[in-house]
Amino acid sequence: MISKARITAIGSYVPDLIVTNSDLEKMVDTNDEWILRRTGIKERRFAAETEYTSDVSIKAIENLVERYQKDIRDVDMIIVCTLSPDYQTPSVASYIQGRLGLKQAGAIDINAACAGFTYGLHLANGLITAELHKKILVVGAETLSKITDFTDRTTCILFGDGAGAVLVEYDERGSFLSSHVVSEGEKAISLYGTYLSDKMFGTELQNKRQLVQNGREVYKWAVTTVPNGMKTVVEKANFSLQDVDWFIPHSANLRMIESICVKSQFSIEKTLTSLVHFGNTSAASIPLALDNGIKDGRVKEGDHLLLYGFGGGLSQSGQLVRWG
């Protein structure tokens, strides 16, 4: 099916509070050199005590509207991609719809963790190309600091808060060229956040209602599977990786991304991330990196972008998109 959807605007937001590696030294047994060497992260942003995922989402949408002078009153669907919602119900998307007064909009949340934003784009493209909707807001947003286990020195150094939002509209010259979505649920125990059940595949979980990650296993899974997924996405569009102008992966860990680039033989110099100053923001990391690239002029109209998310599920999703 030929896409009839195009990304027409983007906005982003990160909270004001900057938490450096030196700040974390006062909270957990770690140090700046250890964090930087293993992750590439220098600092991250934490939401205020009363600032939640809906709040950072709305600020990213407001940033989009202000920069592109878009009228969103006729938006007919809101898709929020997050694993850190304000409530179990209502969805963040529904809450945003109410707060912004978007009377004609449907609203759903997607929880595909760090692959969430690319899953959201996949769904938006399908809904618009099928002519079921015409104007969709897709938001990747997290306030992970509120569900981070700050007694776990190997994971608490990673996470930050923020949001990115894009407007996807009907356009005969669609910009979505190909996609790839997959999940390996049998490996889900490597990265989870508990809620009602305290068992998974018969194994007792650490029921802390916080993120629990086996970093070694997730690293091995991503480095092994993502390069093949990247190849699958581009080949579906009769492209090669050499035709891609910018690779924008989930900003999990700089060492992981470097390994993925080596295995896929893709240049790290043509890779955009958001982790150095924002940390791992899960579903928000790709739109934050994309928006940074647009703001500093690296991403230009007509560029071919390979967006690739991977994480909890264990799920992954890639989109090949022509920008502009």
Non-local CB neighbours of 171 within 8 Å, separated by 6+ positions: 4, 5, 6, 8
pLDDT score at 1:
78
Q: Which two tokens stand for residue 44?
A: 């991250």
Choose between 1 and 241: higher pLDDT.
241
> Please, what sign has the CA dihedral across residues 108, 109, 110, 114?
positive
Nearest to 274 by CA among 295, 259, 243: 295
Q: Which CATH class is domain 5-174?
A: alpha beta
Taking the C-alpha atoms of residue 2 and residue 277, their distance in angstroms, rounded to an integer, is: 37
Assigned superfamily of 177-273+289-322 = Thiolase/Chalcone synthase (3.40.47.10)
Average pLDDT over residues 101-126: 97
pLDDT score at 134:
98
Percent helix, strand and coil across the chain, each rounded to 5? Answer: 40, 25, 35
C-beta separation of 239 from 320 below 8 A? yes
Instruction: Give the tens place of pLDDT for each residue, 44-86.
Output: 999 999 999 999 999 999 999 999 999 999 999 999 999 999 9
pLDDT score at 197:
62
Q: Above pLDDT 70, what percent of the chain?
A: 96
pLDDT score at 42:
97
CB atoms within 10 A of CB 101: 8
Instruction: Give the tens place of pLDDT for each residue, 120-169.
Output: 999 999 999 999 999 999 999 999 999 998 988 888 999 999 999 999 99
pLDDT at 208 over 90: no
Where in the sequence of the chain do the CATH 3.40.47.10 domains occur? 5-174, 177-273+289-322
C-beta separation of 243 from 177 below 8 A? no
| Residues identified as active-site | 114, 250, 280
